[in-house]
């Protein structure tokens, strides 16, 4: 596979490295990372046409050097591409325009601005549990819980009507697929579907501009210099970034807490500290892609201009040079991990994730402290850039009396 394949979402056009082409390796890529890292921290893979980076030091350096290693663009110069509406999202820009837009948005994610979000997280979690678990206690933790709860939380925060959650989820999934396959917006039915999403966000921003409510879209419309396109496209990105990663974090958390037999003693732990170790140990985003803007030297390797570089966050977070006994899960470690990235593109939603995840898990375990995961039917996510599950059937039981 050539290096000009689409790489916007952290892996080259879905092509998996040879060492990760099995469900076992996708679920547990850590031996592959260790083997690679101990051979060399940067390696060129001729099959995928990319440079893979595995050590903590160099992954962090790569994430922080937005000038030499830029985020791949969403669309080419084609303005009639319906995806171009989403181009103005800061995720797809670098340099001064990225800095200016992120500067405007940043304040809305401070703990002070997020005050009050807790109540809506509890009530959305409770109502999803009522729907999903009510009768039998059996559910697919992914589809019935870890996907809809964070989606509904982020929709509530942004100001997207809750009734539209199924439609929004479909758009998010379409967008992910269009981004990482060769399906361009013009050639695929799926891609053309994104024009509807652009229209929806345009109308929503217009509506909130003339009739402000108590939500992020209204605040951005009335209090900032951002254009309507910048508001709409960034809010779409918040839903995109805030849904998948949170789903992965929640399923990884339930999986690890069950494996470590912590669930029955969950009250003895500070979940906000344990979650930082979960983020290190099984980082939802395992890899991010970058393009070299010029020839660069990273570590001892010279990389030509216009090359694709894959920064393996998941490998960095298990680097023994940085973390003592990195394959041991230590609930008290409170690690300096890279799960939220580093440098100018670091995660703007981290404060939300850090408030949201402990509340969702506490609400779940308070009500259903006994969990029986059907380990024989777990399905890992089929991508190397994401670590989590596509299916996690489980039986949840209320406290025994």
Q: Which spans of this chain sit near ligand HEM (rule: CB under 6 A)?
A: 63, 71, 90-91, 102, 154, 237-238, 241-242, 245-246, 249, 284-285, 288, 339-341, 345-349, 352-353
Residue closest to ligand HEM, measured at CB: 349
Return d(Cα 155, Cα 243) in angstroms, integer: 9
Cα diameter, the chain: 66
As a residue count, the chain comes to 401
Return d(Cα 98, Cα 66) in angstroms, integer: 11
In the complex, minimum distance from the CB of residue 126 to ligand HEM, in angstroms, rounded to a whole number: 20
Give whichever of 133 and 141 is closer to ligand HEM, judged by the CB atom.
141
C-alpha to C-alpha distances, 185 to 71, 151, 191, 290, 400, nearest whole angstrom: 20, 24, 4, 22, 53
Give whichever of 154 and 315 is closer to ligand HEM, judged by the CB atom.
154
Give whichever of 150 and 191 is closer to ligand HEM, judged by the CB atom.
150
> What is the token pair recorded at 2?
């050539």
In the complex, minimum distance from the CB of residue 291 to ligand HEM, in angstroms, rounded to a whole number: 12
In three-state secondary structure terms, 169 is: helix
Q: Which among 334, 395, 338, 401 is positioned nearest to 370, based on CA atoms? A: 395
In the complex, minimum distance from the CB of residue 95 to ligand HEM, in angstroms, rounded to a whole number: 12
Phi, psi (degrees; rounded to nearest 5) at 321: -70, -25
In three-state secondary structure terms, 203 is: helix
Give whichever of 30 and 188 is closer to ligand HEM, judged by the CB atom.
30
In the complex, minimum distance from the CB of residue 250 to ligand HEM, in angstroms, rounded to a whole number: 9
In the complex, minimum distance from the CB of residue 121 to ligand HEM, in angstroms, rounded to a whole number: 11
Lookup result for tokens 């099959």: 47
**Which residues make Cβ contacts (< 8 Å) with residue 197, sequence separation at least 6?**
171, 174, 175, 236
- Cα(first)–Cα(last) distance of the chain, in Å? 59
In the complex, minimum distance from the CB of residue 368 to ligand HEM, in angstroms, rounded to a whole number: 22
Give whichever of 129 and 275 is closer to ligand HEM, judged by the CB atom.
275
3-state helix, strand, coil in the chain (%, to 5): 55, 10, 35
In the complex, minimum distance from the CB of residue 166 to ligand HEM, in angstroms, rounded to a whole number: 20
Give whichever of 133 and 157 is closer to ligand HEM, judged by the CB atom.
157
Give whichever of 180 and 245 is closer to ligand HEM, judged by the CB atom.
245
For helices 350-367 and 271-281, what crossing angle results, to 10°? 110
Give whichever of 138 and 362 is closer to ligand HEM, judged by the CB atom.
362
Give whichever of 122 and 398 is closer to ligand HEM, judged by the CB atom.
122
In the complex, minimum distance from the CB of residue 138 to ligand HEM, in angstroms, rounded to a whole number: 26
Angle CA 349–354–360, to nearest 5: 110
**Which residues make Cβ contacts (< 8 Å) with residue 247, sequence separation at least 6?**
142, 146, 147, 150, 388
**Which residues make Cβ contacts (< 8 Å) with residue 249, sequence separation at least 6?**
275, 278, 279, 284, 353, 357, 388
In the complex, minimum distance from the CB of residue 62 to ligand HEM, in angstroms, rounded to a whole number: 9
């Amino acid at each position: 596979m050539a290096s000009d394949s689409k790489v916007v979402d952290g892996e080259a056009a879905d092509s998996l490295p040879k060492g990760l082409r099995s469900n076992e390796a996708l679920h547990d890529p850590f031996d592959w990372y260790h083997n690679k890292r101990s051979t060399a921290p940067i390696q060129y893979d001729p099959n995928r046409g990319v440079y893979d980076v595995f050590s903590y030091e160099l992954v962090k350096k790569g994430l922080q050097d937005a000038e030499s290693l830029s985020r791949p663009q969403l669309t080419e110069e084609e303005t009639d591409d319906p995806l171009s509406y989403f181009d103005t999202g800061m995720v797809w820009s670098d340099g001064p325009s990225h800095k200016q837009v992120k500067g405007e948005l940043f304040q809305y994610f401070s703990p002070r601005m997020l005050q009050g979000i807790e109540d809506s997280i509890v009530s959305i979690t409770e109502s999803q549990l009522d729907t999903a678990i009510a009768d039998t206690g059996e559910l697919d933790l992914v589809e019935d819980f870890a996907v809809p709860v964070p989606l509904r939380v982020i929709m509530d925060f942004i100001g997207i009507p809750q009734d539209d959650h199924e439609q929004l989820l479909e758009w998010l999934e379409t967008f992910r697929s269009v981004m990482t396959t060769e399906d361009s917006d013009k050639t695929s039915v799926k891609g053309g579907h994104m024009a509807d999403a652009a229209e929806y966000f345009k109308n929503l921003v217009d509506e909130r501009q003339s009739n402000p409510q108590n939500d992020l879209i209204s605040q951005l419309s009335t209090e900032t210099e951002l254009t309507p396109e910048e508001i709409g496209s960034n809010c779409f990105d918040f839903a995109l970034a805030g849904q998948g990663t949170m789903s992965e974090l929640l399923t990884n958390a339930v999986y690890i807490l069950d494996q470590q037999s912590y669930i029955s003693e969950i009250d003895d732990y500070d979940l906000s500290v344990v979650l930082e170790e979960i983020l290190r140990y099984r980082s939802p985003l395992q890899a991010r892609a970058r393009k070299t803007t010029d020839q660069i030297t990273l570590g001892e390797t010279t990389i030509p201009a216009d090359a694709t570089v894959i920064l393996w966050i998941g490998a960095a977070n298990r680097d023994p040079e940085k973390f003592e006994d990195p394959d041991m899960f230590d609930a008290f470690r409170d690690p300096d991990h890279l799960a939220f990235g580093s440098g100018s593109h670091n995660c703007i939603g981290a404060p939300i994730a850090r408030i949201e995840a402990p509340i969702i898990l506490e609400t779940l375990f308070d009500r259903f402290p006994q969990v029986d995961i059907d380990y024989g039917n777990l399905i890992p996510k089929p991508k190397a850039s994401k670590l989590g599950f596509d299916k996690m059937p489980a039986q949840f039981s209320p406290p025994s009396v």
